[in-house]
Amino acid sequence: MMLPSGSAGARILSFGGHQPSNVVTNEDLAEKIDTTDEWIQSRVGIAERRVAGPEESLQDMATAAGGKALAASGLEAGDIDLVVVATCTPETPIPNISATVADRMGIASPGAFDVNAACAGFCYALSVAADAVRAGSARHVLVIGAEKLSQWLDWTDRTTCVIFADGAGAAVVGPSETPAIGPVVWGSAGDKHEAISIASRDTYLTQQGQTVFRWATTQLNAAANDALDRAGVSPQDLAAFVPHQANLRIVESLARKLGATDAVVARDIVTAGNTSAASIPLALSRMLERGEIASGGKVLILGFGAGLTYAAQVIEVP
Ligand code: UT7
């Protein structure tokens, strides 16, 4: 048996992000449900979020973000041979999103599969993409995190509808002489599977907020530190820290314990809300657009959410 030779390492060549145009402010929500801007800002850190209308599907958002990442990579559609979409909010369970998105982008017959690790999904998908490139199973991979959470929310449930939002973020992964996507540290806590769930097709997303909050602020710094150790990177080397944008208080707690004094910390949740698998690539694409992270900067990413699942790795940004 022969094996493909692959590549010494893998790197992210480009990012792309997409948000629906419809902005929903806290005041908009307070007109319909028993909540206040003060409560949402102080407890969650969100000022506004984007919500897709019925005319914009999950596939539309994933295709838009994927298209931007592909254009920024300088590659052609035909150069992509694997498409992986991380999502936990497909409109239907069959078919998967990735094959449809690839077809709409003009990517001819790539490998195509979806990943469901909820808000950790992008980090899982990125790890699989990097391994595929290193092993030679793919040369260029389009990784997308996309969510239309709004279709799974009860818009009268103030404990969830003020938090979650819609959007997509994407990255193109390709071969590299030197590794620029570090080893993943991933894990799960399936004993807490009920903490975030959509229990049946007729119900909505529910969340035991405090259970998840406690878990995130007590268990995940170990995974973050482990990812740094395995990449041989110290907190002081980091240009940025981009954790999943679940709650600004969780972001601040993780960042404080990490002690990465020179790192820019992603606070994209303030204007993007919690977009689950899209939050990390969306935050990164917006930070890069604003010039907040220099090319080649080392960034620690940390995804966590339903499952419960988590994953962390160090990347170098394009
Ligand atoms: O992305 C997936 C991963 N998810 C997470 O990481 C989420 C982690 N958890 C959280 O972010 C927070 O737990 C929440 C934002 C979900 C909730 O914040 P909290 O500070 O834990 O609030 P709580 O659930 O303890 O609720 C405190 C109070 C309750 O009222 P009582 O029982 O004290 O009278 C709630 O009913 O706040 C009330 N409340 C609200 N009040 C105004 C809950 N939601 C709202 C609201 N507006 N939207």
154-166, pLDDT tens digit by residue? 999 999 999 999 9
Q: Are residues 223 and 171 in the same domain?
A: no
Q: Decide whether any atom of ligand 1 lies within 6 Å of the 122 Cβ.
A: no
Query: What is the Å distance from ligand 1's center to 248 Cα?
Result: 13
Minimal-distance CA residue to ligand 1 atom 35: 159
Q: Decide whether any atom of ligand 1 lies within 6 Å of the 247 Cβ.
A: yes
CATH number of the domain that 303 lies in?
3.40.47.10
State yes or no: pLDDT of 147 exceeds 90. yes
Q: Decide whether any atom of ligand 1 lies within 6 Å of the 212 Cβ.
A: yes
* Domain span at 253: 185-316
Q: Kindly state the percentage of the chain with pLDDT values over 90.
A: 98
Residues 6+ apart with CB under 8 A from 17: 65, 68, 167, 168, 169, 170, 281, 282, 284, 285, 286, 289
> How confident is the model over 166-194, as a mean pLDDT?
98
CA-CA distance, 130 to 295, in Å (whole number)?
A: 19
Residues 6+ apart with CB under 8 A from 94: none
Tell me, what's the pLDDT at 60?
Answer: 98
Q: Decide whether any atom of ligand 1 lies within 6 Å of the 162 Cβ.
A: yes
Tell me, what's the pLDDT at 3?
Answer: 86
Q: Are residues 131 and 226 in the same domain?
A: no
What is the torsional sign of CA 79, 171, 121, 46? negative
Minimal-distance CA residue to ligand 1 atom 43: 159
Query: What is the Å distance from ligand 1's center to 79 Cα?
Result: 45
> How confident is the model over 270-285, as a mean pLDDT?
98
Q: Decide whether any atom of ligand 1 lies within 6 Å of the 43 Cβ.
A: yes
CA-CA distance, 64 to 41, in Å (whole number)?
A: 29
State yes or no: pLDDT of 4 exceeds 90. no
Domain end residue (candidates: 156, 176, 196): 176
Cβ 54 vs Cβ 90: under 8 Å: no
Q: Are residues 170 and 271 in the same domain?
A: no
Q: Are residues 300 and 199 in the same domain?
A: yes
Q: Are residues 135 and 14 in the same domain?
A: yes
Minimal-distance CA residue to ligand 1 atom 25: 210
Q: Are residues 171 and 193 in the same domain?
A: no
In order of 19, 118, 225, 260, the CA distances from 214 in angstroms are 29, 18, 18, 22
State yes or no: pLDDT of 208 exceeds 90. yes
Return the H-helix or E-strand segment holding 173: strand 166-176
Active site (catalytic) residues: 119, 244, 274
Total of domains in the chain: 2
Query: What is the Å distance from ligand 1's center to 213 Cα?
Result: 9
Place of tokens 């990735």: 98
State yes or no: pLDDT of 241 exceeds 90. yes
In order of 9, 55, 142, the CA distances from 147 in angstroms are 29, 15, 16
Beta bridge partners of 35: none
- At residue 28 the predicted structure's pLDDT band, cuts being 50, 70 and 90, is very high
Q: How many CB atoms lie under 10 A from the CB of residue 204?
A: 16
Place of tokens 């990097």: 130
Q: How many CB atoms lie under 10 A from the CB of residue 186?
A: 18
In order of 31, 212, 244, 282, the CA distances from 278 in angstroms are 28, 19, 9, 6
Tell me, what's the pLDDT at 5?
Answer: 87
Query: What is the Å distance from ligand 1's center to 251 Cα?
Result: 16
Tell me, what's the pLDDT at 25?
Answer: 98
Tell me, what's the pLDDT at 193?
Answer: 98
Q: Is residue 3 part of a domain?
A: no
DSSP-derived secondary structure for 67-130: HHHHHHHT--GGG--EEEEE-S--SSSSS-HHHHHHHHTT--S-EEEEE--GGGHHHHHHHHHH
Minimal-distance CA residue to ligand 1 atom 10: 209
> How confident is the model over 230-250, as a mean pLDDT?
98
- At residue 286 the predicted structure's pLDDT band, cuts being 50, 70 and 90, is very high
**What's the whole-model pTM score?**
0.97
Cβ 272 vs Cβ 50: under 8 Å: yes
Q: What is the 3-state composition of the chain as percent helix, strand, coil, each rounded to the nearest 5?
A: 40, 25, 35
State yes or no: pLDDT of 26 exceeds 90. yes
Q: Are residues 163 and 247 in the same domain?
A: no
Domain end residue (candidates: 144, 176, 208): 176
Q: Is residue 274 part of a domain?
A: yes
Q: CA angle 10-245-13, nearest 5°? A: 20
In testing the pocket of ligand 1, which one of 27, 34, 43, 116 has its CB within 8 Å of the most ligand atoms? 43
Cβ 79 vs Cβ 71: under 8 Å: no
Q: Are residues 165 and 195 in the same domain?
A: no
Q: Are residues 125 and 103 in the same domain?
A: yes
> How confident is the model over 147-176, as a mean pLDDT?
98
Average model confidence (pLDDT) across the chain = 97
Q: Are residues 189 and 310 in the same domain?
A: yes
Query: What is the Å distance from ligand 1's center to 205 Cα?
Result: 14
Query: What is the Å distance from ligand 1's center to 130 Cα?
Result: 36
CA 248 from centre of chain: 16
In testing the pocket of ligand 1, which one of 37, 88, 159, 164 has its CB within 8 Å of the most ligand atoms? 159
